[in-house]
Structure 1
Amino acid sequence: MKLDVKQFVNESLTSNAYLVRLEDSLECVLVDIGEYTELKKHLLLHGLSVQALFLTHCHYDHILGLREFINEFPKATIFAHSYTMEALKDPKLNLSFYREVPIEVDIPPQNRNLMVDQDVEIASLKVTSLHTPGHNPGSLSFLIGNFLFTGDSLIPGHKIVTKLKGGNKEQAQKSLEHIINNLNDVKYLAPGHGSMLPDSSFRQLVEEQYQFYIINE
């Protein structure tokens, strides 16, 4: 069955959230949550049930609506790296402290699922996680079908930001290599900011990024 992926751009934050489901299914998963406003409207309009939320990392622009989401989908499983789970409770680690909108969310134990380089099956979808630190220690990328969701670990055409708390340039390079090594069956790249790109566009951009933003820096 065909995969249906919808991108939601958080206007005030310019970050992306994604809704993923099998076509005609009322069960779905989310990749990042962002502001949640438009995403929430879509879920209600179409009567969709969110089975899981996959967090690419902990930064405030990707988690702003998390508390509201948990209240509305209390049975949904939150998949994230252990660093992300801890950072959700710490406004300085998730950077919301510096934006004067402190975010502190303690995920209930029954809703937590820690991921590092593993597969899970939920909502009839197979989700493969790749640990891709560099932008952030807890950064994960997620492969679902032929879509790769990279968060801020890879934004084609843009240098990987490693100057924020927990950033690491050497890890970013290794993570970019890790992503490139997992692109064989990927048809669409879905980054944490910017447009979703087909393989006809992103492969050259990723190669150029690897050559000029990392190797020759």
Structure 2
Amino acid sequence: MIMLSISPIPAFSDNYIWCVARDGEAIIVDPGDAAPVLKYLEQHQLKLSAILVTHHHYDHVNGIELLREHYPQASVYGPHNQVGSISQRLEHGQTISLFDHSVEIIAVPGHTLDHIAYYISDNSPNPLLFCGDTLFAGGCGRLFEGTAEQMLASLRLISALPANTAVYCAHEYTLSNLKFAQAVEPKNEALQQRVQQAKQRRAEGLPTVPSQLALELLTNPFLRTGKSTLQASVAAQTGLKHWKEKDIFASLRKWKDDF
């Protein structure tokens, strides 16, 4: 099977619209703005064949209609929500085929209630996860619609994927996320090393994503709420006396919101 070529298309101040290409065709993930996508497709002589939507926020969907005007044959996949331009509505556990690759749909509510992720496990050498605003490099999305318990369950689903999964999130938030992670786990050596690597990449004008799930499990506090050292740190910061993991997660998310 031919490997997919994946490139970020920067948009707004910190969004990444992902272009997945093969044999002159492209799949675009979360096009919040059509203009940079149209420019990229023209520059690289690509034809748009499909659009993948993770959730309904404007910075992920506002470019769809203009892209469809230029490429009316492109299919638009997405969750059940109020975005009318989605042509194929997807459910958790459903599988679709794109470029002869099997794409599994994973429901990941929390940031929004409709949020889904796209998981491709048959791409060598790494599985691929397009997770929108659910899991970020070093962080996770704010809880705009869902609950802390829902987001924790969603992140557990992601954490159970193979450790070598490449994680394609939709924003360049890494340095600010890692600054918070350092406040939570100041003695995490893997985190300190990651901070230096991320700073170097940004200094060179390079994206810090995709990341790898194995690295997230070592350094992302929102995937580490079951760790006793992290729990002690959160409890000390927030005054928790007795807790379950969902309480740690909720307190951690609020700490980050106020950070």
Q: TM-score, structure 1 length as denominator?
A: 0.78
Q: Of residues 130, 135, 156 in structure 2, which corresponds to 1:149?
A: 130
Q: Percent identity?
A: 22
Q: Of residues 180, 184, 199 in structure 1, which corresponds to 2:159?
A: 180
Q: Once the 2 structures are TM-superposed, how far is the Cα of residue 159 of structure 1 from its aligned partner? A: 4.2
For the residue of structure 2 that corresponds to 1:134, the secondary structure is coil
Q: Which has the larger radius of gyration?
A: 2
- Partner Cα distance (2:60, 2:211) in 1: 23
Q: 1:45 to 1:115 in 2, by over 3 A?
A: farther
- Structure 2's unaligned 5+ residue stretches are 173-207, 235-244, 252-259
Q: 1:31 to 1:159 in 2, by over 3 A?
A: closer
CA contact (8 A) 1:80 1:113 kept: yes
Partner of 1:196: 209
Partner of 1:92: none
For the residue of structure 2 that corresponds to 1:82, the secondary structure is coil
Structure number with greater CO (CA < 8 Å, separation at least 6) is 1
Q: Once the 2 structures are TM-superposed, how far is the Cα of residue 11 of structure 1 from its aligned partner? A: 2.8
Amino acid at match of 2:102: K
Partner of 1:107: 85
- Structure 1's unaligned 5+ residue stretches are 89-105
The number of residues matched between the two structures is 188
Matches within 5 A, 1:16-95: 16-22=16-22, 25-83=23-81, 86=82, 88=83
For the residue of structure 2 that corresponds to 1:133, the secondary structure is coil
Amino acid at match of 1:158: G
After TM superposition, the structure 1 stretch with the greater mean CA deviation from structure 2, 25-34 or 52-61, is 25-34
Partner of 1:209: 222
Instruction: Provide the aligned C-alpha RMSD in A.
Output: 2.1
CA contact (8 A) 1:129 1:143 kept: yes
Amino acid at match of 2:10: V
Partner of 2:146: 167
CA contact (8 A) 2:137 2:216 kept: yes
